[in-house]
Structure 1
Amino acid sequence: MLEHMNYLPPHVLGMHAVGKVTNIDYKKALLPLLDNQVKQNGRINFILVLETKIQNFTAGAWCGNIELGLKYFLKWHKLAIVTDEKGLKEFSHLFKYILPGKYKGYPLDELGEAVKWIAEK
């Protein structure tokens, strides 16, 4: 499940992944928020907190992840991935080679630092 982190500044979109994550989560929970982020700010500052195992992402969720990355390809400004899952950490490091903008990865115990970095203008 993807939960909106609605306590972040308006120029930052944050999602918290827990339990099983599906393509429906991407379409219903994330897509409308990304659309709004682009309309409001013209670019995307995104933090994703992953507190679930890689096995909990369905194949459709991985496809949804790639689809959204491409849909907003030129809109990514800053992306922070926060996780202790080694497999997810390694996969998420690919973003810095694929997407434009700045990317940083953080362990869960540095969530505060990740929020501080992603919120900097």
Structure 2
Amino acid sequence: MIEIVEGFPQNVIALRASGELTHEDYEKVLIPAVEAALAHRDKVRIYYELGPEFSRMKAGAAWDDLKLGLVHYSRWEGVAVVTDHDWIRHAVDAFRFLVAGEVKTFRMSEAREARDWITGPVERTKIRLS
């Protein structure tokens, strides 16, 4: 299940996942929230919290997540993923190239820092070659 988390600026779509994520969660909650936010601005930010209650993502939800990310590739300004699930943290690290904006992962104990980061000035980290 995905629920919208209130108390964030309008340019941040804040979500909390629990239990099992399904295609219907994306279709009824996440995709409409993203489309509504993008109707009023060029870029949005995502705060995505997957706590201990989160168990898994069904294949349909994983596909929806990938499609949503690619369709709006250049419109993600920043993504904060808050979780203690190591497999999610590894997946985010592996697929961060699919997001044009900055992507950071945080532990659940760092949720306040994640909120501060996603609502503050988010800048793309520059890679230095030496």
Superposition pairs of residues 1-121 of structure 1, within 5 angstroms: 1-51=1-51, 52-53=54-55, 56-121=56-121
List structure 1 runs of 4+ shifted beyond 3 angstroms. Answer: none
2:69 match: secondary structure: helix
Tell me which amino acid in the other structure corresponds to 2:79: L
Q: CA RMSD in A?
A: 1.1
Q: Deviations over 1:71-119 (max 9, x none)?
A: 1111011011000001011001134222111111000111110010000
Q: In 2 relative to 1, CA 95–14 (structure 1 residues): closer, same or farther, beyond 3 Å? A: farther
For structure 2, the 5+ residue unaligned runs are: 122-130
1:25 match: secondary structure: helix
1:19 match: secondary structure: strand
The structure in which a higher percent of residues are strand is: 2
Q: CA deviation at 1:8?
A: 0.9
Q: CA deviation at 1:33?
A: 0.6
C-alpha separation in 2, matches of 1:44 and 1:75: 6
Identity score, percent: 27
- 8 Å CA contact 2:79, 2:118 repeated in 1: yes
The structure in which a higher percent of residues are helix is: 1
C-alpha separation in 1, matches of 2:73 and 2:41: 15
C-alpha separation in 1, matches of 2:117 and 2:16: 17
Moved more, 82-91 or 93-102: 93-102
Structure with bigger gyration radius: 2
- 8 Å CA contact 2:73, 2:98 repeated in 1: no
What TM-score results when the alignment is normalised by the length of structure 1?
Answer: 0.93
C-alpha separation in 2, matches of 1:118 and 1:41: 16
Aligned residues: 119
